[in-house]
A and B are shown apart, each in its own frame.
Chain A
Amino acid sequence: MTPREPGASPVASVEGRHAGGVIRFIDKTFVMAELEIRKLRHDASELVTRAVQPALWLLVFGQVFTKIRAIPTGPFRYIDFMTPGILAQSVLFVAIFYGISIIWERDLGIVHKFLASPTPRAALVSGKALSAGVRSLSQGVVIYLLAVLLGVNINWDPLALLGVVLVILFGASIFSTFSLIIACLVKTRERFMGIGQVLTMPLFFASNAIYPIDLMPGWLQAISRVNPLTYEVDALRALMLSGGTSAFGIGVDLLVLFLVTAALIWLASALYPRVAY
């Protein structure tokens, strides 16, 4: 810090003003994600404990259901069919409780400091979404390792892998931003945890994650078709598996995921400042 010359215009009020709105938005989103990565670097234990649940699903549930062939999954073994579903599930579980960090940061005053900085509100929200995406990607790595171990027929095409990364980031953004919106509305940890618990399982079961939609009764099919998780799983199934196909078309999946992400980030940016009231 050097003393400011009297009468000199403050550097901060000029700095960055000329940067375009979109560039600023992207830049600040990455700063928020950097914050998260630095936290994870100091304490990565959460990533390990998070890996236990998908491992159980794949190793126990997956193995048993593959053996009894209870669920018709076309040309795929059941374990192949469910692996993309379990990836989507672990992304969901990471993201859906992410909003609690907002309540935590509100109680600490961190939110107040971010909101009083010139960072665009939408970038604060999308930065949180990207942070949840970073955590989810580490889950993706764990699930790929398990999948190799279980002999799942993985598609190693680089473009397909890139597609998987993109879908994971979308999935994490959707459910973490959804969670953030709930946190903005309920404002206390206790209420938030209750609602999070209530939402997770219905989102998971009313999707194509562990059984095909065709097997569901009509009303459940209707629900699963408006569930973003269904489109996430559909895209993952097409991209992750060698010879995998998408029921809706990958283009449709990505478009749905993008539109839902954008709508939720827009809504959350409007609600987020109220957290500091």
Chain B
Amino acid sequence: MPFALETFSLTRRFGSLTAVDALSLSIESGETFGLLGPNGAGKTTTIKMLVTLLPPTGGGAVIAGCDLRRQPGDVRRAIGYVPQLLSADGTLTGRENLEIIGKLHDIPRCGLKARVDEALEFMGLADSAGKLVRDYSGGMIRRLEVAQSMLHRPQVLFLDEPTTGLDPVARRAVWELIRRLRRNYGTTILLTTHLMEEADRLCRRVAIMDRGRIAAIGKPAALKASLHKPGATLDDVFIRFTGGALDSGGNYRDTSRTRRVTSRLG
């Protein structure tokens, strides 16, 4: 099985803080992989490096066969990215959001309309295509964003906390969507989450990050079994490997950002 994504001692420092510390992992083609960890563990920093937003301080990665450092342009063509923040433009309609991002991704103009129509249909947004996105619900915005990130049919899709701030119904809809993406397009998906239930249901394998390092990696069932405790959940695994992580609630900026996202998703 070829790897869709491999990192080699990927490292990012901010001053004296090492946010991501020599991260090495391999994700198989078609796999859904979950990156778990408390706030400040380095999940978002890792994703930002992998989607070429943030240059690594050390190490490297190969994504869809392209070298992250030497071929950032090719990496950008091969990936899709849904940021943790809400990235759809509220002052445009859903269709316009898709058309603009399609043009930025070099989708040929002649096939663009058909592809946008298909994406709207797939995401269940066809009826709201002409409405301004600021009138969408949080779940609809997330679906639109996933549609945007999938329009150019990337090989690897990065979802940074795709369900943060969503209500349980919308969350389940996003889960179903992720499963369908994998089934229909064979997309390799790397997602981050705080929700152990989410990781347990969606991911073939998970890695638990703590302070920039991988504390544990494997299939959810195997990680649970490793605790040798009957009825162990992924929550127990998380607590065991992050030492409870009570001291790491994220900084002021993270917290205010999460709350802002949550309130916008209302």
Contacts and interface: CB of A to CB of B under 8 A. Distances in A.
Interface stretch (A6-14, A220-228, A238-246, A258-266): A6-14
Contacts of A115: 52-53
Given A1-B150, A34-B100, A38-B92, A112 B83 contact: yes
B92 A116 contact: no
With a 10 A CB-CB cut-off, give which of A6, A10, A35, A116 has the most chain B CB atoms: A116
Interface range for A: 35 or more
B153 A12 contact: yes
A31 B104 contact: yes
B255 to A, nearest CB: 15
Interface string B83-110: 1111101011100100011011111100
B83 A4 contact: no
With a 10 A CB-CB cut-off, give which of A1, A110, A112, A276 has the most chain B CB atoms: A1
Interface in B155-202: 155, 184-186
Interface in B102-135: 103-108, 115, 118-119, 122, 132
Nearest to A42: B91
Contacts of A35: 89, 92, 100
Contact of B154 (A3, A12, A108): A12
Interface string A31-69: 100110011001100000000000000000000000000
With a 10 A CB-CB cut-off, give which of A34, A42, A108 has the most chain B CB atoms: A108
Interface string A98-137: 0000000001111011111111000000000000000000
A79 B97 CA distance: 44
B266 interface: no
Contacts of B186: 3-4, 6
Nearest to A127: B104
Contacts of A114: 104
A273 interface: yes
Given A12-B152, A113-B87, A1 B81 contact: no
Given A38-B92, A116-B52, A10 B155 contact: yes
A197 B176 CA distance: 49
B185 A276 contact: no
B54 interface: yes
B83 A109 contact: yes
Contacts of B118: 1-2
B48 interface: yes
Interface stretch (B72-80, B216-224, B228-236): B72-80
A79 B154 CA distance: 58
Interface in B43-91: 48, 51-54, 64, 73-74, 76-79, 81, 83-87, 89, 91
